[in-house]
Amino acid sequence: MDFPPLTKATFIKRVNRFIAEVKIKEQIELVHVPSTGRLDGILKTGVTCYLKPSSNPKRKTAYSLFLVEDNNVKICIDSLITNDFVYQLLRKNEIPGISIGEIAKEVSLPDERIDFVVRNEDLENYIEVKSVNKCDNGVACFPDAPTERGRKHLTNLIKYQSVNSIQSHLIFVIQRNDAEIFSPCKDRDPEFANLLKEAYKKGVKLHICLTNVTENEMYFDKWLKIKL
């Protein structure tokens, strides 16, 4: 996945959930933060960051925080691009256990709107996507903050899995390249961790996608193992 041209800056501080302060050359600028996670350990004063220009002229901030660089590792914090990234993998038939078929995005269901449904002749694949940017000592983990929405998605995936013609999938996209394994953040949301283990036991397929991130693109590296 190619990125638009990015502007290099220095991160100063997070003002609130959606706004951060950065320095572009000698100019202080407020930018949008496209992530609701805590991003602790990532958004540190003085780190190099990269900004994506806004395409909305009516928005108050001219840029969105897009990449953060820490110890020579570039981390994408934009959770909005992961669905487009997974869509490309689906079109190329590169996700194990999901045969290429008719791909529908943002499908409305009775209880929610699911990221993707891939329909084959005798099976429908229900797919949710989560972006991951937290990694400690080679262990990528999700979520970095309690996620009621994530728990609801897992509960529904378990419910869909009980239908004979449906296979549920949860894809975690790690938006950095220094992870060696994935595990749920039990200290941040123990209920999510328990639901993830239950989902696995009941047949929901869990996919852990490691990516490489540069200033210009994010591309697939390999599939990682999960420790529940």
Q: What is the reported pLDDT for 153?
A: 96
Using pLDDT thresholds of 50, 70 and 90, give the confidence band for residue 122.
confident
Residue 96 has pLDDT above 90, yes or no: yes
Beta strands across the sheet bearing 139-142 = 134-136, 139-142, 181-184
Using pLDDT thresholds of 50, 70 and 90, give the confidence band for residue 209.
very high
The domains of the chain are located at 7-76, 79-223
Using pLDDT thresholds of 50, 70 and 90, give the confidence band for residue 100.
confident
**Residues 175-184: tens digit of each pLDDT:** 999 999 999 9
**Residues 139-158: tens digit of each pLDDT:** 999 999 999 999 999 999 99
The proportion of the chain whose per-residue pLDDT surpasses 90, expressed as a percent, equals 89
| Sequence-ordered list of residues with C-beta below 8 angstroms from that of 98, at least 6 positions apart, any chain | 90, 118, 125, 127, 169
| C-alpha count within 13 angstroms, C-beta hemisphere, residue 169 | 24
pLDDT average, residue stretch 195-219: 98
**Residues 33-78: tens digit of each pLDDT:** 999 889 989 999 999 999 999 888 888 899 999 999 999 999 999 9
Q: What is the reported pLDDT for 119?
A: 95
pLDDT average, residue stretch 185-210: 98
Using pLDDT thresholds of 50, 70 and 90, give the confidence band for residue 131.
very high
pLDDT average, residue stretch 162-175: 97
CATH 3.40.1350.60 fits 79-223, yes or no: yes
The proportion of the chain whose per-residue pLDDT surpasses 70, expressed as a percent, equals 100
> What distance in Å separates the CA atoms of residue 219 and residue 32, rounded to the nearest whole number?
24
**Residues 50-61: tens digit of each pLDDT:** 999 988 888 889
The CATH code that applies to domain 7-76 is 2.40.50.580
